[in-house]
Structure 1
Amino acid sequence: METADVVVIGAGIIGAACAEALSASGMRVLVVDRGAPAGGTTAGGEGNVLLSDKAPGPELDLAVASRRLWPELIESLRAELGDEIARVEWEPKGGLVVATENDARGPLAILAEAQRRAGVQATAVDAATAREMEPHLTEHVAAAVHYPEDAQLQPVLAATAMLAAVRSRGGDVRGWSEAHGLVVVNGKVAGVRVGEGTIACGAVVNACGPWAGHFGAAAGAPVEVLPRRGMVLVTAPLPHVVSRKVYAADYVAAVASSDVDLQVSAVVESTATGTVLIGSSRQRVGFDEALQVEVLRRLARSAVKLFPVLAGVPVMRAYGGFRPYTPDHLPVIGEDPRFRGLWHASGHEGAGIGLAPATGRLLADLMYGRAPVVDPTRFRVDRPAVIAEVRT
């Protein structure tokens, strides 16, 4: 029977970060994925590494730790694997949050002040300064806040680099291999069923992203992780239009909302190839992949409102993805109380790229009994929002 120290289920950015951190700690790691590695939610992401969209609390703490760890991790991967494999298009370009309506000024200022007290660099700028920073920005700027620590990378390249490190340390990564249950002996994980076979292991990490709820149910340890769909438009390559990640102030409210109905808020940024990415939408439609033209129209209209220069620019393609959503908007990171050796790392919704390094480090810290990189309490698996059995 095939063996590994730990099997990580899910080869997206979170699974890759967990596998990298565990293999760096000395474990022999096998990563399996139901599809192509880095081909699911990660491939549908914009590559955001953001502090600006998070209110003070446990998620911001995890984001701050990750923002510190990303450059360190990239340098470590470059030293281990070489520049070509570790090329992830890291851009610490900063972000600009813009209120285009007067009634959004107050909430934006309150959030920025709270973030500053939490240690985030957040500088209020007037309309003239905002337009100096982004000359193509709308003239209708009521207020703006600059976040110099916001960054961007290419998520597929980042996940691929971390998985390459796992392989270089003696582990393995397998696509098109679906895990569908655990082998449990005396309440402890002894293996995982993958395809027609079984892999013996001492620990399993459920890092299945939007499918984490499905695997949890198959394993006999259901968790409340649900899919929430998002769409992104990609323009044809353009001359330089946007320097930073720029988004409307109502984006923060959309991120925190639990509404089932469609929500659209303008998020605009350029890429290294000259294309412009236009988001963001959030919609709870299960795993329905049908293209909804109205969503794309609303994305385009919201972007033009923020950057009028984009009117008439050709759209090269549109893509969507399913983000792993939890009812309390916090990731699930830690060991399952129902089976020793079953660990979870999911529920990051649209923030997985930015939260990945600290998630991997936290999981490894907990597994090894080390001092955790951040307080793990609010991410526990046995909280009412995640496990039905403990709800009151």
Structure 2
Amino acid sequence: MNGTRVVVLGAGIIGAACARELALAGLEVTILDRGGAAAGTTSHGEGNVLVSDKGPGPELDLARLSRRLWPEALAAVAERSPAGRRAADAAEWEPKGGIVVATTQAGADGLTRFAATQRTAGVQAEELASATLLEAEPFVTREHTVAVHYPEDAQVQPAGAAAALLTDALAAGATLRTQHEVLSGITRGGRLTGVRTSAGVVEGDLFVNAAGPWSGALAARLGTPLGIEPRRGDVLVTAPLPPTVFHKVYDADYVGAVGSSEEDLQTSAVVESTRAGSVLIGSSRRRVGFDDRLRPEVLSAMAGKALRLFPSLAGVPVMRAYGGFRPYVADHLPVIGADPRLSGLWHASGHEGAGIGLSVGTGRLVRNLVLGEPAELAADAFRVDRPAVLGTQIEPQQHRQQQQHQRHRQQQSGQLSQHQEEGA
């Protein structure tokens, strides 16, 4: 497929990962973004690279592939050039591990069951004795019932990580064009052959929609609507502190919030430090369209839950708060693959808050599918033509698999949020 012209629509971390893989494979890649590189969802996240919040299934498979690929990708970027080395350093890869903490018996029961299912899928999930937990996290609450350590969890600086992937894509021959908002598509014989942008027409042989929470609107402009909507999340950032939080630490109800489809506010305690010493406090999930206003009641709820997990944070100054939109799909699975309605159009979106962690695995899977290579994991669950994405009928067997996966996620949500509902 050398000589194939690929146009990646979106220069966030998913677009960067796809562009890198396709450019390294020898395709002619152009990346378009209506703003700047990594200026949207990517720059408004926390940088999570997690396996701890995913139960057995296709998303966990993608997460484990990505977790393996992240250090390999950054090492390859660093080896190629001095500029690549600086870019890889800016990604701030930190395999610090995660610790999930339950604070009630109901939460402990749910977390214990969840960790057991993850171990059957090969995830390292180690239950910690109380003394071991306090040795690992001296400032965590003493009011805990169970804690599970996930040594595979890691963190990156989101914009820096995206820049590293883009640096490698450009070094492999890709072209980046910012300030190119896609307005409509150009089709010939039922195939997408170009896009009209605010800066002119861009032609190609294959187009990858990697526009994050704007993917649904972009797809509609191309005549192929998708069930991808924005879901907002917010983060608090403290002033730099002496070493206080040593892992990514979160309350067991976080997985329940991730797996929820509720439109109302969902909050849980997620606390982690950055290399600069600030502590990031999350998390929230709200389906409010593209309303970008910070809500004091949301920030207050997040802070309150963080204080229950780390009481020592009381009185610590908060420097700023920020929020962003994540691409939400009703069945909580990404959308990765060719669009059956329009030849030449592909999608790589719908990762919600897991896009940073899942990006490099998504890029590899897109490359496998585009080139017809043996894929490193099964891609059927991420297909575009499934009910949650198109609202259309698909093969009965696949439909049953999707329903089973959704029931599994709902069960996880019920188990891990039960202690929250009981007022713990």
Q: What is the TM-score of this pair, normalised by structure 2?
A: 0.90
Contact (CA 8 Å) 2:16, 2:162: kept in 1 or not?
A: yes
Q: Which residue of 2 aligns with 1:121?
A: 124
**1:85 equivalent in alignment to 2:108:** no
Does the 8 Å contact 2:179/2:199 carry over to 1? no
Q: 1:240-266 deviations in whole A, cap 9, x for unaligned?
A: 000000000000000000000001100
Instruction: Give the secondary-structure state (helix, strand or coil) at the position aligned to 1:385.
Output: helix
| Residue of structure 2 aligned with 1:266, choices 243, 265, 269 | 269
8 A contact 1:324–1:348 mirrored in 2: yes
Match of 2:405 in 1: none
1:389, distance to aligned residue in structure 2 (A):
3.9
**TM-superposed deviation, 1:4:** 7.4
Contact 2:236/2:281 (8 A) holds in 1: yes
Residue 237 of structure 1 corresponds to: 240
Q: CA deviation at 1:215?
A: 0.5
2:112 corresponding residue in structure 1: 109
Is the contact made by 1:102 and 1:142 (CA closer than 8 Å) also made in structure 2?
yes
Q: State the 1:341 CA deviation.
A: 1.0
1:166-185 aligned within 5 A? 166-185=169-188
Verify: 1:316 aligned to 2:316, yes or no: no
How far apart in 2 are the matches of 1:257 and 1:126? 30
**Residues 241-320 of structure 1 aligned to structure 2 (within 5 Å):** 241-320=244-323
User: 2:20–2:172: 8 Å Cα contact kept in structure 1?
Assistant: no
Shift, 1:80, TM fit: 1.4
Gaps of 5+ in 2: 400-424
For the Cα contact (< 8 Å) 1:239–1:274, is it kept in 2? yes
Match of 1:48 in 2: 48
**1:281-322: CA deviations, max 9, x gaps?**
000000001110001111111111100010000000000000
Give 1:140's aligned residue. 143
Which of 134, 141, 145 lines up with 1:131 in the alignment? 134
Deviation at residue 173 of structure 1 after TM alignment: 1.0
- Alignment of 1:352 with 2:361, yes or no, is no
CA contact (8 A) 1:269 1:277 kept: yes
Deviation at 1:9, TM superposition (A): 0.6
Corresponding residue of 2:408: none
CA separation in 2, counterparts of 1:101 and 1:131?
Answer: 17
Structure 2 residue 217 is matched with structure 1 residue 214:
yes
**Number of the residue aligned with 2:230:** 227
3-state DSSP of counterpart to 1:356: helix
- Secondary structure of 1:354's counterpart equals helix
CA distance in 1, matches of 2:353, 2:153: 15
C-alpha contact (below 8 Å) 2:180/2:199 kept by paired residues: no
Which residue does the alignment assign to 2:16? 16
Structure-2 change in CA distance of 1:178 and 1:259 (3 Å): same
Long gaps (5+) in structure 1: none
CA drift of 1:142 comes to 0.4
TM-score, normalised on structure 1? 0.98
State the distance in 1 between where 2:20 and 2:170 align. Answer: 9
Residue 63 of structure 2 corresponds to residue 71 of structure 1 = no
Residue 216 of structure 1 aligns with an amino acid whose one-letter code is A
Query: Separation in 2 of the partners of 1:157 and 1:4?
Result: 29
CA–CA separation in structure 2 for the residues paired with 1:305 and 1:6: 49
CA distance in 1, matches of 2:223, 2:199: 19
> For 1:230, what is the secondary structure of its paired residue?
strand
Preserved CA contact (<8 Å) 2:207 2:344: yes
Paired letter, 1:18: C
Give CA deviations for 1:213-264 in whole Å, capped at 9, x if unaligned.
0001000011100000000000000000000000000000000000000011
Cα RMSD of the aligned pairs, angstroms, is: 1.2
CA-CA distance at 1:345 after TM superposition: 0.2
* 8 Å CA contact 2:179, 2:198 repeated in 1: no
Amino acid at match of 1:224: G
What is the aligned partner in structure 1 of residue 414 from structure 2? none
Bigger shift: 254-263 or 79-88? 79-88
CA distance in 2, matches of 1:343, 1:252: 29
**Alignment counterpart, residue 94 of structure 1, candidates 85, 92, 97:** 97
- Asked whether the 8 Å contact 2:8–2:29 carries over to 1, the reply is yes
Residues 104 and 249, structure 1, Cα contact 8 Å, conserved in 2: yes
1:221 touches 1:338 (CA, 8 Å); kept in 2? Answer: yes
Alignment correspondent of 1:328: 331
**Letter in structure 1 aligned against 2:165:** M
Q: Does 1:379 align with 2:382?
A: yes
Give yes or no for contact 1:233–1:279 (8 Å, CA) kept in 2: yes
Moved over 3 A (4+): 389-392
CA drift at 1:127: 2.1
Match of 2:389, SS state, is: coil
The number of equivalent residue pairs is 390
Which residue of structure 2 lines up, in the alignment, with residue 30 of structure 1?
A: 30
Deviations 1:63-116 (A, max 9, x none): 000000001100111111332122210000000000011111111011101111
**Does the residue aligned with 2:276 lie in a helix, a strand or coil?**
coil
- 1:386 partner SS: helix
1:161-191 deviation line (CA, Å, top 9, x unaligned): 1111222222211222101222111111211
1:128 Cα deviation after fit: 2.2
Give the C-alpha shift of residue 196 in structure 1: 4.5
Name the % identity.
56
Q: Is the 8 A contact 1:230 1:283 kept in 2?
A: yes
Q: Is the 8 A contact 1:37 1:174 kept in 2?
A: no
Does the 8 A contact of 1:4 with 1:30 survive in 2? no
The range that moved more, 184-193 or 130-139, is 184-193
CA-CA distance at 1:390 after TM superposition: 3.5
Checking the alignment, whether the CA contact within 8 Å between 1:238 and 1:274 is kept in structure 2 is yes
